[in-house]
């Protein structure tokens, strides 16, 4: 059994995002072992807009800190803040970072 402090990981990644020229930093918390579940802690500076992309399958975004906006075609737009869980549609989507944020991206790999 393994225990991971998401709070400590979020703080570490947010610090790294502020130092990175791209304005973001990420680390895989779970999923390096070849299993079906992958969870990645992603920190982004406010104002960042990662490129629109396809969903890799079933996925969720848990907002650990901050505020984000997710846009997805016909699904529309939703905002998330501390503690909100956003279920990503199996479609192209984009993320707008409204303020410094850290999210936990969970993906079920095929």
Give pLDDT tens digits for 36-67. 889 999 999 998 887 777 776 788 999 999 99
Give pLDDT tens digits for 3-25. 999 999 999 999 999 999 999 99
Output the pLDDT for position 84.
Answer: 98
Enter the pTM of the model: 0.90
Measured between alpha carbons, how far is 80 from 65 in angstroms, rounded to an integer?
Answer: 10
Output the pLDDT for position 31.
Answer: 84
Give pLDDT tens digits for 64-103. 999 999 988 777 899 999 999 999 888 888 899 999 999 9
Measured between alpha carbons, how far is 107 from 46 in angstroms, rounded to an integer?
Answer: 24
Distances from the Cα of 78 to the Cα of 51, 58, 72, 97, angstroms: 17, 18, 9, 12
- CATH class belonging to 6-108: mainly beta
Output the pLDDT for position 97.
Answer: 95
SS3 32: coil
Kindly tell me if the per-residue pLDDT of 33 is higher than 80. Answer: no
């Amino acid at each position: 059994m393994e225990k991971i402090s998401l709070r400590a990981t979020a703080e570490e990644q947010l610090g790294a995002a502020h130092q990175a020229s791209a304005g973001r930093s990420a680390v895989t918390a779970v999923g390096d072992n070849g299993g079906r579940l992958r969870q990645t802690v992603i920190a982004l500076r406010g104002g960042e807009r990662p490129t629109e992309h396809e969903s890799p399958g079933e996925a969720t975004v848990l907002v650990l800190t901050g505020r984000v906006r997710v846009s997805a075609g016909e699904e529309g737009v939703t905002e998330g803040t501390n503690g909100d869980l956003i279920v990503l549609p199996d479609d192209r989507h984009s993320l707008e970072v409204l303020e410094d944020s850290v999210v936990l991206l969970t993906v079920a790999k095929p």
